């Protein structure tokens, strides 16, 4: 249902380009409703399994829902709904005709990805998602966006082929691609190490962990604002989700000592990403590039959970993922509003945005608060959990990273806000921003803050089906 | 070393060649071809490993290869279309250097 709905929405949008906005919005609301339906079902009955076409695990395609995938589906639904409403007034008719079908395809791929229970299916959805995302980036037109899209496409194909080769090796050794069966059969052997290496490298490339982040800023910054929000909030997270899932369920069986050293490596890379992304973000002169580099930094935080590898750490990473998705949507949408208004996004020339677009700037500021990790935002809770995990596992030095990263974030957010209050020498023709676009950005930012106040709910949700193993008292 | 193993090794070789070409060449058409070579390498590995037993070959990897080919075709089509658009927009078929932003 969750997959078919956006797919048919995409086809309808493709067939009836005149009524594309109406059809798209309709589908968006329908998807959101069915996600909530699934939420109620899972809350009621626990973990769900569904075999497509009645074929069971070893041969057929299976869908699987537990707390983690449900959380991802919810975030996707929430962000997707916001983006749909936002883009209904952002795109003009000629662009909208192309945007809606692609966006629906992307949504279908995301939902299928979060539901998939086998690693080959994950590959197919990963590719679908990548292709739709590339096409969306290219939508902006212009040489910059096209070059960004091309680079993104090549990187994403390289990443997924590495992943596929890893899948091939795993299948050869254990005769199955189902995650659960694999987890039972897996044992340590050189072929498995090679497969793990390939899969991890491919996914890191797609998640844009430092130093494999080079493709992200051009692609994210040159795309239209709603698309950048989608890419940062959801698409990058999808490949992280696969990595997290495999890491939790399949790889630990392979080899404990190797897992530890690989985890340390990922943590170090994450640390480097936090620093590098933060410093680069400070150096940017364009607003959207700044926000894109901030994504690079925030992805780094996600990987800090790997060396800790205890339950609190995983929870922290999921929480970070959640709050970053919301905050980054708000931030990109706010940046989109500012660009829409002034026609440019040079930070130095921001002309009294605070007075003219108060809602947008509040959205930007609130999202910034969550990214910095000030209480009571979602980002604060995530960092707090991460800190707790670091101390519990006796590796406190990861905690210092959180503080340094937070300071860097504060620096670049305040840089933007500072310029927003002053008037610049350059005057330009302002264009009125539809109220709907401003409110959506603000709503997302408020939700990111509210996450900090509603901690128990998402955390309880993740616990369903205990994807992180048995919980500690 | 049996014949299936030999094919699988060839597949890995193709994959490596593809990665090398993808990184070294700047012309976009070459990059797209390199991706295709990589893809063929992976498919070869899958098909070769399917024939690892004496009995009839395992059909599941064949299904995977067919799916993979479909994906590869659409990806190539998208890449070629993007390349043409890029040429129209910027008059050259290489990606701009990162440092010239």
Whether A247 and A263 map to the same domain: the answer is no
Residue A214 and residue B98: Cβ atoms within 8 Å?
yes
Least confident of A124-128, B10-14, B96-100: B96-100
Spatial neighbors of A259 by CB under 8 A, at least 6 apart, are: A251, A252, A309
Q: Map chain B to HEC letters.
A: CCHHHHHHHHHHHHHHHHHHHHHHCCEHHHHHHHHHHHHHHHHHHHHHHHCCCCCCCCHHHHHHHHHHHHHHHHHHHHHHHHHHHHHHHHCCCECCCCCCC
Compute the count of residue pairs across chains A and B with CB atoms less than 8 Å apart: 86
Q: Is the peptide bond before A316 cis (omega within 30 degrees of 0)?
A: no
Q: What are phi and psi of A193, to 5 degrees?
A: -60, -45
Look-up: residue for tokens 């927003």?
A420
Whether A229 and A313 map to the same domain: the answer is no
State whether residue A105 is helix, strand or coil: helix
Whether A379 and A419 map to the same domain: the answer is yes
Residue B82 and residue A127: Cβ atoms within 8 Å?
no
Q: Choose one of A237, A254, A271: the last residue of a domain.
A: A254
Number of helices and strands (H, E) in chain A? 22, 2
Look-up: residue for tokens 């897992």?
A259
**DSSP conformation class of A232:** I
- Which residue range is the domain that position A288 belongs to? 257-473
Whether A458 and A349 map to the same domain: the answer is yes
Cα distances (Å, whole numbers) of residue A96 to A17, A130, A140, A374, A421: 8, 20, 11, 37, 33
Q: Choose one of A198, A226, A254: the last residue of a domain.
A: A254
- B32: chain A residues, CB-CB within 8 Å: 154
Cα distances (Å, whole numbers) of residue A48 to A33, B63, B92: 18, 26, 51
> Judging by beta carbons within 10 Å of its beta carbon (0-12, 13-18, 19+), is residue B3 exposed, middle or buried?
exposed
Whether A226 and A313 map to the same domain: the answer is no
Q: How far apart, in whole angstroms, are the C-alpha atoms of residue A105 and residue A96?
A: 14
pLDDT at B36: 94
Between B15, B74, B83, which is nearest A165 by CB? B15
Q: Choose one of A254, A280, A295: the last residue of a domain.
A: A254
> Judging by beta carbons within 10 Å of its beta carbon (0-12, 13-18, 19+), is residue A319 exposed, middle or buried?
buried
Task: Report how many domains make up chain A.
Answer: 2
**DSSP conformation class of A210:** T
Token couple for A313: 């750490």
Whether A236 and A272 map to the same domain: the answer is no
Token couple for A49: 């399994």
Residue B64 and residue A146: Cβ atoms within 8 Å?
no
Whether A222 and A282 map to the same domain: the answer is no
For residue A87, give the nearest of A129, A139, A152, A127 by alpha carbon: A139
Q: How far apart, in whole angstroms, are the C-alpha atoms of residue A5 and residue A110?
A: 12
A201 close contact with B: CB closer than 8 A: no
Whether A209 and A283 map to the same domain: the answer is no
Residue A143 and residue B79: Cβ atoms within 8 Å?
no
Q: How far apart, in whole angstroms, are the C-alpha atoms of residue A222 and residue A227?
A: 10
A191 close contact with B: CB closer than 8 A: no
- A127: chain B residues, CB-CB within 8 Å: 71, 75
Restricting to A residues 124-143, those with a Cβ less than 8 Å away from any Cβ of B are 124, 127-128, 131, 134-135, 138, 141-143
Between A134, A147, A154, which is nearest B35 by CB? A154
Per-residue pLDDT of chain A (473 residues; tens, 9 = 90+): 566 777 777 777 666 767 777 777 888 888 888 888 888 777 777 777 777 665 555 566 778 888 888 888 888 988 999 998 898 888 887 788 888 888 888 988 888 888 887 888 889 899 989 999 999 998 887 888 888 899 899 999 999 999 999 988 888 888 777 777 777 777 777 778 888 888 889 999 988 887 888 888 888 888 888 899 998 889 999 989 998 888 877 766 555 666 677 888 888 888 888 888 888 888 888 888 898 899 988 888 888 888 876 778 888 888 888 889 999 999 999 988 888 887 777 887 776 777 778 888 888 888 888 888 887 788 888 888 888 888 887 777 888 888 888 889 999 888 888 888 877 665 566 677 788 888 888 888 888 888 878 777 777 777 776 666 543 33
Least confident of A219-228, B56-65, B66-75: B56-65
Considering the domain delimited by B3-90, tell me its CATH architecture: Orthogonal Bundle (1.10)
A283 close contact with B: CB closer than 8 A: no
Residues A427-444, buried b or exposed e (16+ Cβ, 10 A)?
eeeeeebeeebbbbbbbb
For residue A360, give the nearest of A450, A427, A440 by alpha carbon: A440
Q: Which residues of B touch A (CB under 8 A)?
A: 15, 18-19, 22, 28, 31-32, 35, 38-39, 41-42, 45-46, 49, 52, 58, 60-61, 64, 67-68, 71, 74-75, 78-79, 82-83, 85-86, 89-90, 95-96, 98, 101
Whether A348 and A460 map to the same domain: the answer is yes
- B15: chain A residues, CB-CB within 8 Å: 161, 165
Contacts for A30-36 with beta carbons within 8 Å, 24 or more apart?
Answer: A30/A5, A31/A2, A31/A5, A31/A6, A31/A77, A31/A80, A31/A107, A31/A111, A32/A77, A32/A78, A32/A80, A32/A81, A34/A1, A34/A2, A34/A5, A35/A2, A35/A73, A35/A74, A35/A76, A35/A77, A36/A77
Q: How far apart, in whole angstroms, are the C-alpha atoms of residue A277 and residue A419?
A: 21
Instruction: Find the helix or strand (DSSP H, E) in which A51 lies.
Output: strand A48-51
Give me the residue spans of the domains in chain B. Answer: 3-90
pLDDT at B100: 37
pLDDT at B32: 93
Whether A66 and A172 map to the same domain: the answer is yes
pLDDT at A383: 86
Nearest CA in chain B to A160: B39
Residue A171 and residue B78: Cβ atoms within 8 Å?
no
Between B42, B58, B86, which is nearest A165 by CB? B42
pLDDT at A470: 45
In tens, the pLDDT along A81-124 reads 999 889 888 888 778 888 888 888 898 888 888 888 788 888 98
Q: How far apart, in whole angstroms, are the C-alpha atoms of residue A308 and residue A389?
A: 7
Contact of A288 with A332, CB cutoff 8 Å: yes
């Amino acid at each position: 249902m969750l997959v078919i709905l956006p797919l048919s929405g995409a086809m309808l949008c493709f067939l009836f380009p005149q009524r594309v906005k109406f059809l798209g919005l309709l589908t968006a609301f329908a998807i959101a409703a069915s996600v909530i339906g699934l939420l109620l079902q899972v809350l009621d009955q626990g973990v769900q399994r569904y075999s497509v076409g009645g074929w069971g695990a070893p041969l057929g395609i299976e869908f699987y829902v537990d707390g983690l995938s449900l959380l991802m589906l919810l975030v996707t639904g929430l962000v997707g709904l916001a983006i749909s409403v936002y883009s209904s007034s952002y795109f003009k008719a000629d662009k909208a005709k192309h945007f809606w079908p692609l966006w629906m395809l992307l949504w279908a791929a995301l939902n299928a990805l979060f539901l998939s229970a086998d690693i080959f299916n994950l590959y197919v959805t990963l590719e679908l998602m990548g292709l739709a995302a590339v096409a969306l980036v290219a939508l902006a037109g212009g040489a910059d966006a096209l070059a960004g899209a091309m680079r993104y496409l090549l990187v994403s194909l390289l990443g997924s082929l590495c992943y596929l080769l890893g899948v091939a090796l795993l299948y050869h050794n254990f005769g199955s691609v189902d995650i659960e069966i694999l987890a039972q059969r897996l044992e340590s052997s050189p072929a498995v190490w090679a497969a793990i290496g390939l899969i991890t490298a491919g996914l890191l490339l797609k998640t844009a962990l430092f130093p494999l982040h080079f493709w992200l800023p051009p692609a994210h910054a040159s795309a239209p604002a709603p698309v950048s929000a989608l890419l940062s909030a959801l698409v990058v997270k999808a490949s992280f989700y696969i990595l997290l899932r495999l890491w939790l369920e399949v790889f630990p069986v392979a080899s404990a000592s190797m897992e530890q050293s690989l985890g340390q490596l990922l943590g170090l890379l994450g640390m480097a990403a936090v620093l590098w992304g933060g410093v680069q973000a400070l150096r940017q002169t364009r607003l959207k590039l700044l926000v894109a580099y901030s994504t690079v930094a925030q992805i780094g935080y996600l990987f800090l959970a790997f060396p800790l590898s205890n339950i609190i750490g995983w929870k922290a990473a999921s929480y970070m993922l959640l709050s970053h998705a919301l905050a980054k949507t708000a931030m990109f949408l706010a940046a989109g509003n500012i660009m829409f208004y002034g026609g440019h996004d040079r930070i130095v020339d921001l002309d009294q945005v605070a007075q003219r677009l108060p809602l947008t700037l509040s959205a930007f500021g609130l999202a910034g608060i969550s990214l910095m990790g000030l209480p009571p935002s979602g980002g604060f809770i995530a960092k707090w959990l991460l800190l707790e995990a670091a101390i519990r596992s006796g590796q406190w030095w990861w905690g210092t990273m959180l503080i340094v990263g937070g300071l860097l974030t504060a620096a670049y957010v305040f840089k933007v806000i500072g310029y927003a209050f002053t008037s610049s020498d350059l005057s330009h023709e302002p264009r009125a921003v539809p109220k709907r676009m401003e409110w959506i950005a603000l709503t997302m930012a408020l939700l990111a803050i509210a996450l900090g106040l509603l901690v128990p709910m998402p955390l309880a949700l993740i616990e369903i089906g205990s994807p992180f193993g048995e919980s500690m008292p | 070393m049996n014949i299936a193993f030999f094919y699988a090794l060839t597949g890995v070789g193709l994959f490596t060649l593809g990665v090398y070409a993808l990184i070294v060449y700047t012309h976009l058409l070459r990059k797209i071809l390199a991706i295709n070579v990589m893809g063929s390498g992976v498919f070869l590995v899958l098909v070769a490993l399917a024939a690892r037993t004496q009995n009839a070959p395992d059909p599941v990897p064949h299904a995977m290869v067919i799916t993979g080919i479909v994906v590869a075709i659409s990806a190539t089509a998208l890449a070629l279309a993007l390349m043409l658009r890029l040429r129209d927009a910027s008059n050259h078929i290489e990606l701009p250097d990162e440092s010239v932003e």
